[in-house]
């Protein structure tokens, strides 16, 4: 069973007339996502791949009720787009835009929390429930998503959108399916962390294990480890910590904006140590992820 979204989830796309949004809308529909409406102010009345476009979220929802929205608008407009979605009752918001001012992100998260909504991202490729739906652009084309992802019982949380697909493809090639795969975003401030999402996977009885793709910077993994050390989890959790070369090369610029290491805090070595102490299985090599799953869980699909 998927978390957050499934085949019945009705999806709105804010910024649907943009080139990137129009492309992932088409590919997501080809995969089976139920995209029912789009919004671009000033372009109401148009159609994108047969999807009606409205000037406002309120107008779109009046005739096309939705459960979730994907926001793909310029960074300076994301705050207003998010507030518009929240004020119209949308409870799941996936923000694919990057380089959003931090004060805007903080305001978005505070408003979402006040109305009980969840934000994935920003700077996220979205989420995929294999065989059911996709919100965002993870995996690229529908053909690639079908090839790299397959339904199963292993959840995937990744700070990197690209590595979400790499991990899922590794699992698929080993005959291991996935329940829900989430690209949480690589920015320093994001809406849903690994710890935020853990209870959802734990509540899904069909998810047996969870694979984490971790990166240098921040303390997200350390906070997850502290929680697991205190409370444990029914899930087997396997982690791969990328960027070990940064432990020897302090000051190297590494990928995402969230990759900021301060002293020993946020380094790959400190993350791996904290995760191990919490009982998480840490893969020394990327290819070892499937070996650890097989060794500790046995037959898993």
**Tens-place pLDDT, residues 152-204:** 999 999 999 999 999 999 999 999 999 999 999 999 999 999 999 999 999 99
**Tens-place pLDDT, residues 121-156:** 999 999 999 999 999 999 999 999 999 999 999 999
Instruction: Report, as an integer, the average pLDDT of 95-117.
Output: 98
d(CA 301, CA 298): 10
Q: Over the chain, what is the mean pLDDT?
A: 93
3-state secondary structure 195-264: HHHHHHHHHCCCCCEEEEEECCCCCHHHHHHHHHHHHCCCCEEEEEECCHHHHCCCCCCCCCCCCCCECC
**Tens-place pLDDT, residues 57-75:** 999 999 999 999 999 999 9
Number of domains within the chain:
1
2 falls within a domain: no
CB 187 within 8 A of CB 257: yes
142 falls within a domain: yes
Confidence tier at 297 by pLDDT (50, 70, 90) = confident
CB 154 within 8 A of CB 134: no
256 catalytic? Reply is yes
DSSP-derived secondary structure for 47-96 = EETTEEEESSHHHHHHHS--SEEEE-S-HHHHHHHHHHHHHTT--EEEE-
Instruction: Report, as an integer, the average pLDDT of 249-260.
Output: 52
Domain extent at residue 203: 10-297
- Looking at residue 254, which CATH number applies to its domain? 3.40.50.261
Better-predicted residue by pLDDT, 247 or 120: 120
Residue with tokens 């793909």: 72
Kindly name the residue from 49, 227, 231, 256 that is annotated as catalytic. 256
Q: How much of the chain exceeds pLDDT 70, in percent?
A: 91
3 falls within a domain: no
1 falls within a domain: no
5 falls within a domain: no
81 falls within a domain: yes
Instruction: Report, as an integer, the average pLDDT of 287-298.
Output: 89
Instruction: Report, as an integer, the average pLDDT of 229-258.
Output: 75
208 falls within a domain: yes
Let me know if 285 is exposed, middle or buried by CB neighbors in 10 A (0-12, 13-18, 19+).
Answer: exposed
SS3 of 175, please? coil
129 falls within a domain: yes
């Amino acid at each position: 069973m998927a978390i957050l979204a499934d085949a019945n989830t009705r999806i709105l796309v804010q910024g649907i007339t943009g080139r990137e949004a129009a492309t992932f809308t088409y590919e997501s529909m080809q995969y089976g996502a139920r995209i029912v409406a789009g919004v671009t102010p000033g372009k109401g009345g148009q159609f994108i791949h047969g999807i009606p476009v409205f000037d406002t979220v309120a107008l779109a929802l009046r005739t096309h009720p939705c459960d979730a929205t994907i926001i793909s608008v310029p960074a300076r407009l994301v705050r207003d787009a998010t507030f518009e979605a929240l004020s119209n009752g949308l409870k799941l918001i996936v923000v694919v835009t990057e380089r959003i001012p931090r004060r805007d992100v903080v305001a978005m998260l505070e408003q979402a929390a006040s109305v009980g909504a969840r934000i994935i991202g920003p700077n996220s490729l979205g989420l995929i429930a294999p065989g059911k739906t996709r919100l965002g652009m993870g995996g690229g084309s529908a053909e690639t998503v079908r090839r790299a992802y397959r339904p199963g019982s292993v959840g995937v949380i990744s700070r990197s959108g690209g590595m979400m697909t790499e991990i899922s493809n590794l699992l698929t090639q080993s005959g291991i399916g996935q329940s829900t795969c989430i690209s949480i975003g690589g920015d320093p401030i994001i809406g849903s962390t690994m710890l935020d999402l853990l209870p959802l996977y734990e509540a899904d009885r069909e998810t047996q294990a969870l694979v984490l793709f971790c990166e240098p910077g921040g303390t997200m993994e350390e906070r997850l480890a502290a929680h697991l050390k205190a409370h444990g989890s029914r899930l087997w959790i396997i982690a791969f910590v990328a960027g070990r070369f940064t432990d020897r090369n302090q000051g190297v610029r590494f990928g995402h904006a969230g990759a900021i290491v301060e002293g020993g805090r946020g380094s790959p070595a400190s993350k791996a140590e904290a995760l191990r102490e919490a009982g998480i299985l840490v893969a020394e090599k990327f290819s070892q992820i499937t070996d650890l799953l097989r060794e500790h869980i046995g037959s898993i699909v």
